[in-house]
Structure formats: C-alpha cells, structure tokens
Chains A and B, each alone.
Chain A
Amino acid sequence: AQSVTQPDIHITVSEGASLELRCNYSYGATPYLFWYVQSPGQGLQLLLKYFSGDTLVQGIKGFEAEFKRSQSSFNLRKPSVHWSDAAEYFCAVGLTGRRALTFGSGTRLQVQP
C-alpha cells in the first residue's frame, strides 16, 4: 500500500543544535515530495519541495532536504535550530494525475533554550 511515514512523533533539540527529521515513502514511482510546517494554531506553510533534478533541495528559513531514491527517503535538515522553529512538521507526497497530497503523521519539534 502507498504510504508516507514519519517515524519520529516528537523531537526535542537545543537551540543552535542541528536537526534532521525523517520521512520515508512507499510508492511505485518517484512521487513529488514536500515538507510543510504548521505553527500552533496556524495553517500549513510550504518549506520546500522536490520534483526532479538535484536531490538536495533548499527551502525557506534555512531548511534543506535530500531525496534518496535508494532509501525512499526525503529527510529534512537544518544546521542550527532557532526557538521559532518549534512547530509541527509534515512530509507529504503527490503523484502525477492524483490531485491530492498524502501526508505523514507529522513530527512535533520542541526547541530547548
């Protein structure tokens, strides 16, 4: 079955530390891949996306993600986390011809001072 997995429900990091959020997908073909962020009580904001080409994708707010076909992964990274990064992060996939995104269950990021 097609699925998107975010194995970490909750991650806590110290401010200034590096961050990696994991995302794995299970689809027959390479899907389109997205990372969205949801701050408390807010909507979803697109951080970055991968369609094709360079497997290292740069996004907003200093985030980047790397697509690894062999591992069916699209992990999100940030070298130095800021307190304002505390939020819920969602990985999502889209398929050509299917006009909807399938989301992972989200990872809640907490940032310690």
Chain B
Amino acid sequence: DTAVSQTPKYLVTQMGNDKSIKCEQNLGHDTMYWYKQDSKKFLKIMFSYNNKELIINETVPNRFSPKSPDKAHLNLHINSLELGDSAVYFCASSQATGGETQYFGPGTRLLVL
C-alpha cells in the first residue's frame, strides 16, 4: 500500500495554462506539506497544512493555491504557469507531534514549455 501518493507523476504543459496536482496519504497523519525541488535538487517548503488549516506559506506566488478538502488530501493548483515553475513537486505528511518524521510521495515532475 502506498503511504503518500501523488497524481500525476509527470505533467508537461504550456506557459499560461492552469494545472493541478493531487496528493493523498493513508497514514492517518494530520499534517501535510508541499515542497518544491528545483533543477539543482534544492528542496524548499512551499506550504504546510494541519487539520485542513494552512499553517505555513513560504512566500510562494499567489498563482499557487493549495487546498485541503480533508486531512488525508492536499491538492496544489497552479494558475498561469511560468517557465520557472518547472520543477519536481513533492507532497509529504507527518503526525503533528514534536520532531515529526515526514513521509514523502514519489513527486510530480512538472515541465512548462
């Protein structure tokens, strides 16, 4: 059973389009995250949700809008895609206790042409 899953795995699209990435976790965790990994492999937090509430928003352009319909799901919608949005987007989840371990999904590789 996949603990943290993401769809789609690959996404190729044109500049200016709108796209969504979906994430689901079956670990019973109450905190979920979106991270962005750039072309140099650098990983940076974008958003964090706890019990469907946004708790971290790390200076991400407002073209990016996360939505958490329930504790097990966290989706990422991106409007007006730009070339610089090309990256790998990772979803993760954890239990909101001290020093929580985060479990990562397989990533969504987004290429904007």
A: which residues have CB within 8 A of B?
A: 32, 34, 36, 38, 42-46, 49, 51, 88, 90, 92, 94, 96, 98-103, 105-106, 108
Contacts and interface: CB of A to CB of B under 8 A. Distances in A.
Interface string B82-96: 000000001000101
B41 A106 contact: yes
A98 B58 CA distance: 12
Contact of A42 (B58, B103, B106): B106
Interface stretch (B13-21, B42-50, B64-72, B73-81): B42-50
A58 to B, nearest CB: 15
22 contacts: A32-B99, A34-B101, A36-B104, A42-B106, A43-B106, A44-B90, A46-B101, A49-B99, A49-B101, A51-B98, A88-B41, A90-B43, A92-B43, A94-B99, A94-B102, A99-B94, A99-B100, A100-B56, A100-B58, A103-B42, A106-B42, A106-B43
Contact of A43 (B55, B98, B99, B107): B107
B42 A100 contact: no
Interface string B28-61: 0001010000001111110010100001101000
Given A32-B99, A43-B105, A43-B107, A103 B94 contact: no
A82 B44 CA distance: 29
A48 B102 CA distance: 12
A94 B100 contact: yes
B31 A99 contact: yes
Q: Which 4 A-B pairs have the closest CB atoms?
A: A32-B99, A100-B45, A44-B104, A103-B43
Nearest to A31: B99
A96 B43 contact: no
Contact of A101 (B4, B42, B96, B102): B102
A34 to B, nearest CB: 7
